[in-house]
Amino acid sequence: MKPNAQNTLLPRVLALLVFSVTAIPFARAESVKVGDPLPPWSEGCLDIHHINTGRGESSFIIMPDGTTMLVDAGAVAEKPRWSPEARPDASRAPGEWIARYIARAMRATPKKTVSYAMLSHFHIDHMGALSKNTPDSRIGPYKASGITEVADFVPFEKIIDRAWPDYKGRGGPWNDAKMKNYRKFVDWQIANKGMKAERFKVGVNNQITLGNNPAKYPNFEIRNLSNDGIVWTGTGAETRDALGEHTTSGNKCSIAFRLAYGKFKYFSGGDLDCRGAETGGVNIEAEVARASGRVDVIKANHHGNYDANGPDFMRALSPRVVIIDTLGASQPSMNVWRRLRDKALFPERPDVFATNLMEATALAMNEKPEKVSVHSHVVVRVSPGGEKYFVYRVTDTDESGRVQSVHGPYTSR
């Protein structure tokens, strides 16, 4: 064999060996049965956990090298009459339940800190509410609710939000009690715990990156799609202002990003919606979806509410799996559900998973509740390299991590 042929062959052999070793834990994950505990994350895999507390939206991502990201940590102050029961129960606040969940999820990661904490926007079901009963933080001079409570138990290395450091822009309010408490939290964590803070930068793919072994996973990327009505054009890091002179709600100004791992792609867009009347006809979620392009899995916008996940948005993303962080009886709304079943939009109907689907809502949808999940954590696990993925429904009534159902393997597109 010629020397140059040996030089070409050796890296390929080594790469094959590395892939074979990292694929072994995923092969074990493929054999998971209903009733088994979900195996922990292993290096090379990508995990996306949609955490159900019944009191707000939260997801947790473990990247292929063990870098982690918490996206939102909602905590409504009291139980709304239209919402399901607290999960696992009401003995702890949502922030503490989220912290306990992610601590278990990080058992095999190199660090036991959250690499990135991100707030998609500043609403209580995404960041935490304040009430007369909200306790003081265990570590700092602020109240502990939602995102601020999670940090009492698990340290954050960096927090990324819509508007640091001046907290100005579209979609306030900027000076209510919860925002004042949050800003006090950020300032104290920076001064006393070494946490860093940044504003989410639209268009770039180098703000949220692998921190442990990036060279090993060159096919991993998080692209920042939108914030405050500013949207990536799809070219380089260029952006444009999709809302122009229009001042609008915090929902339309939500952070959105696209995660890519090899062929696998995932979309998350907070509470973006499709209403255009208040913004001169601009359908912001459709604008963002067109910038993203087709993906495999989406977290549905605005909890599957009636004003989101419009046909242009769905057509542009064309997901195979839709995960809805539902919080009440009206979610998903019937118009959204009919859209997800529309063969004109989806020749291959997407599989739908809801964290908190109420039984009455499922009956109105003419679906068996267990088919779309009454309540559970929903976990997406992607194979090393991103070629395929599974979806697991995991029990939320205790902390056993038992698998309720297994879906897949799906082939990434």
305 with 125: CB under 8 angstroms? Answer: no
Residues 224/226/230/232 CA torsion (nearest 10 deg): 50
pLDDT digits (tens, 9 = 90+) for 37-59: 999 999 999 999 999 999 999 99
Let me know: does 84 contact 158? Beta carbons within 8 Å.
no
CB 202 within 8 A of CB 230: yes
Q: What pLDDT is stored for residue 25 in this prediction?
A: 59
> How would you label 252-279 residue by residue, b for 16+ Cβ within 10 Å and e otherwise?
bbbbbbbbbbbbbbbbbbbbbbbbeeeb
Q: How many angstroms separate the CA atoms of 53 and 61, rounded? A: 17
| Sequence-ordered list of residues with C-beta below 8 angstroms from that of 43, at least 6 positions apart, any chain | 22, 25, 64, 65, 66, 108
Q: Report in angstroms the alpha-carbon separations of 388 from 59, 252, 341, 382, 401.
A: 20, 32, 24, 6, 22
Q: For residue range 78-103, what is the model confidence (pLDDT) as tens digits?
A: 666 566 689 999 999 999 999 999 99
DSSP 241-284: ESSTT----TTTT--EEEEEETTEEEEE-TT-----GGGTT--H
pLDDT at 165 over 80: yes
Instruction: Tell me, rounded to whole angstroms, the distance of Cα 17 from its chain centroid.
Output: 32
- Residue tagged 């922030």 (tokens): 95
Q: Please state, in angstroms and rounded to a whole number, the distance separating the CA atoms of residues 252 and 230.
A: 10
Distance of CA 363 to the CA centre of its chain: 27
Residues 222 and 32: their CA atoms lie apart, in Å, by 29
Enter the tokens of residue 170: 């579209």
Higher pLDDT, 198 or 77: 198
Q: Which of 84, 40, 75 is nearest to 150 (CA)?
A: 75
Residue 325 has pLDDT above 70, yes or no: yes
Average pLDDT over residues 182-195: 98
Span of 106-110, 286-290, 334-338 with lowest mean pLDDT: 334-338
Q: What pLDDT sits at residue 260?
A: 98
Which residue segments constitute the domains of the chain, with CATH numbers given?
Answer: 42-411 (3.60.15.10)
Give the pLDDT score at 110: 96
Q: Which residues pair with 161 in a beta bridge?
A: 199
Who contacts 281 (Cβ-Cβ below 8 Å, separation ≥6)? none
pLDDT band for 166, please (50, 70, 90 cuts). Answer: very high
Rounded percentage of the chain residues whose pLDDT exceeds 70: 89
* C-alpha distances out from residue 372 to 337, 385, 388, Å: 11, 28, 21
Q: Which of the two residues, 358 and 199, has the higher pLDDT score?
A: 199
pLDDT at residue 5 tops 50: no
Strands (E), 252-402: 256-261, 264-268, 297-299, 321-324, 351-354, 377-382, 388-394
Q: How are strands ordered across the β-sheet holding 297-299?
A: 239-241, 230-232, 220-227, 256-261, 264-268, 297-299, 321-324, 351-354
pLDDT above 50: residue 123:
yes
